[in-house]
Amino acid sequence: MKVTKDLVAASATPMVLGILADGESYGYAILRRINELSDGELDWTEGLLYPLLHRLERLGHVESSWQSVPGERRRKYYRITDSGLAELAEQRRQWDTVVSALKAIWVDPGDVRRLATIPLGGLA
């Protein structure tokens, strides 16, 4: 099972902001983290990640800087800003709404059948 492209794109911003909320990071690490968290089910490409990071930077949700950590390569690190944290909170609120609504709809299979009969009964 692979998550569809639309859903990946829609969840991209909160996911990146959420990862950066744990601490600054760089592109490759972010991509690996997303892979870990989703067991490889989320099909993220570099073409999605880097332009997204640049857009978030343009909107002021993240800041970037080139840093050289001793013993490693020079890397472009991204850090979440206050406005990014606010955006993350807003996105979380929206996603919570969506998720709880979906959960309410998708109870267990028995319930689905029960729910499906109700409107019919109501119409009759």
Partner 1 sequence: MTAPGSPDGGTTPYGPDGLEAQFDQWRHYVRRRPELQRSDAEELEDHLRGSVDELIAAGLRPDEAFLVAVKRLGGLDELSREFAREHSERLWKQLVLTGGTDDPETDNRSRRDLVAMIVCAVGAAVSIKLPALFGQGFEQDGAFYAPNFALFTLPWLAAYLAWRRRAGTAVIGVMVALFALGAVAANVYSLAEDSQSLVLTTIHLPIALWFVVGLAYVSDDLRSSRRRMDFIRFTGECFVYFVLIGLGGGVLTAFTVGTFQAIGIDPEGFVSEWLLPCGVVAAVVVAGWLVEAKQSVVENIAPVLTRLFTPLFTAALLAFLIAIVWTTAGINVEREALILFDLLLVVVLGLLLYSISARDPLAPPGLFDRLQLALVVSALIIDVLVLWAITERITEYGTTPNKAAALGENVILLANLAWSAWLVLGFVRRRTPFAALERWQTGYLPVYAGWAWIVVLLFPPLFNYL
Residue 2 engages partner 1 in binding (rule: CB under 8 A) = no
Stretch that binds partner 1, among 8-16, 42-50, 82-90, 98-106 (CB under 8 A): 42-50
Per-residue HEC secondary structure of 7-31 comes to HHHHHHHHHHHHHHHCCCEEHHHHH
Of 11, 80, 87, the closest CA to residue 49 belongs to 11
Structure-block tokens of residue 14: 């909160």
Stretch that binds partner 1, among 48-56, 80-88, 94-102, 113-121 (CB under 8 A): 48-56
Measure the N-to-C terminal CA separation of the chain; round to a whole number of Å: 39
Query: Hey, which residues between 58 and 117 contact partner 1 (CB under 8 A)?
Result: 58, 66, 73-76
Summarize as ranges the residues that interact with partner 1 (CB under 8 A). 26-29, 31, 45-48, 50-52, 54-55, 58, 66, 73-76
